[in-house]
Structures are given as C-alpha cells and as structure tokens.
Structure 1
C-alpha cells in the first residue's frame, strides 16, 4: 500500500478526495498527518487532536463490491477493524458507540468518517477517515475522551498502527463479500450500552428512557421505548445522554 505522510493539512479526507479526483490512485492509498486543522466527524462535528500525538489517517478504497442498500456495512467493517487492532494492544472494555465511535469504558478513543462516491457504472469508491487518540494524555477540555496511552500507561508506535489498521480494513472488506453476517454479529455484540436502559433525547424534546436493541441493515439505531415500541432513528436524529 502507498502511504502519503503530511505534516499539517486541513483535512486528510478532503486531501485524499481531491487527489483521487485528479489521478488514478492505488487501492488502499493512505494519507496521514501530524496535525489536522479542520478535522471533521459525523454530520460536521469537529475532531480535535493534539499535534503529533494521535493517529490521523484516511484510506482510499475503490471498486467495492457492495450494493447501495448495503453501504452501512462499510461502517460495520471499519469500526470492527479499529477494535480488532486495539485488542491486540490489550486495550480494555472496548465497544462501538453507534454509528462508529470507538469507546473504552465510557471514554471515546476514536472516531470514523466515511465518505462514499457512487459512479454511474455501479462501482463505489470510499475515503475512510479515522482519528485515533494514541499518545495524548491531556484531555482537560475533552472530559469524555481518552487515549491508548492513558488506558495502557504506555506510549505506542503510530506508524505501526497505520499499517495494522489498513491491513485489517482490507481483510474485513473482503469478508463483507464472502460472509458479511460474521461482521454484523460481532458489531452488534460490541454496541455501546446495548440492552441497558439509557436516557435519550430526540431533537429538542425532553429526555426519555430507552434500550438499544440493535442496528438495521441500513444503519438505523433500534431503540425499545417505554411503551414497548421498537423505534428506528437515523444518524444525529437521536442522542444518548451518558
């Protein structure tokens, strides 16, 4: 795989998307940056990272054999790839907060942003953005965040993580074609606060209690409400209060 290393960039996702528009990229081309000035999360949320301490990477993947209706499977495979690599470092209490934040206990370790491009011939190319807190230890202004270094009381090799995560991504994407149910089953087992009564809020409404039961094939969160109705919610339509 080809790795492009940058010192500073506004967004590795934007850089990689621009590059793919002007030249033919090798599959699984990776862009990393020591500092990202305009990092984004889901729905435009800001991703903040201390310079040179964390892993900021984007991966270009092309010719994915996935149907449009199954595109959420990319989120499943990607979130699992990060978790699977973290497990090799003995990072404990890992879970996936829907749709694709990686948690250790109640603290966020990583965020994922996937941006897809659909071509007229039916093929799909994607830019997979991953921000992973690795060696940062000061989270004074981010009380719900943590890092590998804080959890394991050790420093880690960011470059090794780039290769390990990319290799696991490639493995999982191939598995999507062969037997995606294996990945779905593992993803659902790892859902943050699954089957635990939790407070939620929808829009500006008052908080209500619900229980996460799963995620639909299209990526909607399934929440059991107090009246035993199983409701489905899109990304950013519902917020968990924890």
Structure 2
C-alpha cells in the first residue's frame, strides 16, 4: 500500500546534515520509500568529495530523500544518480527562464554558476543494494554568496522573486517519488540520452586537471558507466573523482 507523499515529508528546524538524519532513520527501521526530511538550517551539510555544503538558514532547500532503487538500477548506480539529476534540473528549469544544465556528475548550473548540488549515498547488504539517500541542496532565496559570488547563484538572483522553500521542496519531493516509482521500467539508454542533452558544456572545449596534468579537449558526453568522455585528438574516459574541472 502506497503512503500519502505528504506524510512522508517532514521539516526539521536545525540538524547537522539531512543525509545523516536520513541514514539514521533507515538504520532504525523507520524509513519508507520516499521518506524525506528538509532542514531549515543544517550546520554540517554534505557535499561531494567530503566537502561541506553551506547555505543561508531558512533561505534555500536542504532536502534528503530515502529511495529504494529496486532491481531497475542494478548494477549501475550512475543511472540512479543521472535520473536524480534530470528530475532536479527539470524542477529548477520551471523556476527560471535561463537554461539550466547538469554539470557532471550531478551539479545543477544556471549559466556558468552553480545553483545546486546532489549527493547520493548508497546502503548495501552484501551485494544487495538496499537504499539510496539522495541529498539535494538548491539555492532559492539567497542573495549573497560572499567570496563565492562568481561561482554560485540562486533562483532569486535570476528572477528577483522569492519563493517558499518548504513549498518548493514539497513539490520536488512529489516529483522524485513519481520519478522513482519502483513499478516503472527503466530505460538506461534513454536516461543517458536525456542526461547528455542537458549536460553542461557538452560539445564545447573544456579544461581538466588530472594528476597535475592539464587536459584540454571537446566534451563529447557521458557514457552508460557514468564516465566523462573528452576528445583531445583521442577519446579519453574519466571516472568520477579523477578529473578536476577548470572553469
């Protein structure tokens, strides 16, 4: 029996990390597919590669949702991450007139500035993929990013319109539950095609740093394994964590 999405969504005032909280709920046996927690303030939000995600309290979305990937995404976690990024990109696109893109592997960009980031943490039992906790941070009403002002952007800065972050998070939550319906079949090729269509800097020349070596080439896309494909005369493939973007 499916639960009412509204009953799966909770708002927390202050928390260290919504992902940590969601993980705790899973381990305590209290989470369901679609259980989600939004924090008005988190003081130790998680980002990629062990970085922290900082957000002005009460102004943005800091949301974590528990999802059961089911058999559809086995054995390729990147497909799950790509689907998540597509749903979040499409959601942000409803709020701004500017083009919204996905920066590999799963940042949300408006123009050349970051509007949000995603962090997926998976739970396995043996070889069985049981849960994914998707942490989502989106810049909604923040008007000042200090020293990051050239790299970060919010919906408010683009549109000059303020939104209720809780209402937006509830909308996004409903989209995520619909988008990760365990009963729906998954088409890996279609997911990657859509992901590549929305890929930041695709078909452009980009610069990467790999093991202190500069690589400059055309970004041709991302393959089914989630590898970034760059052509600098020869096709090169990079896994997440290997290259550093130079923007």
Same-fold call, TM cutoff 0.5: yes
1:47 aligns with 2:56: no
1:76 aligns with 2:88: no
Shift in Å, 1:14: 0.6
TM-score (normalised: structure 1): 0.92
Q: Take 2:75 and 2:187, find their aligned partners in 1: how far apart are those partners?
A: 16
> Out of 210, 222, 226, which is 1:215 matched to?
222
> Out of 46, 59, 65, which is 1:59 matched to?
65
> Out of 171, 175, 187, which is 1:179 matched to?
187
> Which 10-residue stretch deviates more, 80-89 or 186-195?
80-89
Give the equivalent residue in structure 2 for 1:3: 9
Q: Take 2:48 and 2:129, find their aligned partners in 1: how far apart are those partners?
A: 23
Q: What does 1:229-240 align with in structure 2 at a 5 Å threshold?
A: 229-240=234-245
Q: How many residues align?
A: 239
SS class of match (1:236): coil
* Structure 2 residues not aligned, in runs of 5+: none
Shift in Å, 1:194: 0.7
* Structure 1 residues not aligned, in runs of 5+: none
Give the equivalent residue in structure 2 for 1:164: 171
Q: Deviations over 1:201-241 (max 9, x none)?
A: 11222x2311111112221111112xx21111111211221
Shift in Å, 1:26: 2.1
Q: What does 1:85-234 align with in structure 2 at a 5 Å threshold?
A: 85-120=91-126, 122-142=128-148, 143-174=150-181, 177-205=185-213, 207-225=214-232, 228-234=233-239
Residue 77 of structure 1 contacts residue 169 of structure 1 at CA under 8 Å; is this kept in 2?
A: no
Q: Take 2:69 and 2:154, find their aligned partners in 1: how far apart are those partners?
A: 33
TM-score (normalised: structure 2): 0.90
